[in-house]
Amino acid sequence: MEKVYYSISEVAALLKMNLSNLRFYEKEFKQLKPKRNDKGTRFYSKDDIQLLKQIKYLIDDKKLTLDGVRQQLNEKKDAIQKQQELVERLKLIKTQLLGIVKELN
pLDDT digits (tens, 9 = 90+) for 42-97: 999 998 999 999 999 999 999 999 999 998 888 776 677 778 788 889 999 999 99
Kindly tell me if the per-residue pLDDT of 5 is higher than 70.
yes
Contact 19, 11 (CB under 8 A): no
- Measured between alpha carbons, how far is 49 from 34 in angstroms, rounded to an integer? 9
What pLDDT score does 1 carry? 57
H or E stretch covering 36: strand 35-36
Contact 56, 12 (CB under 8 A): no
- Domains plus CATH for the chain? 6-104 (1.10.1660.10)
Dihedral angle sign, alpha carbons of residues 93, 94, 99, 104: positive
Phi and psi at residue 41, in whole multiples of 5°?
A: -70, 135
Predicted structure pTM score: 0.71
Phi and psi at residue 26, in whole multiples of 5°?
A: -60, -40
Per-residue model confidence as pLDDT tens digits over 10-40: 999 999 999 999 999 999 999 899 999 999 9
- DSSP three-state, residue 100: helix
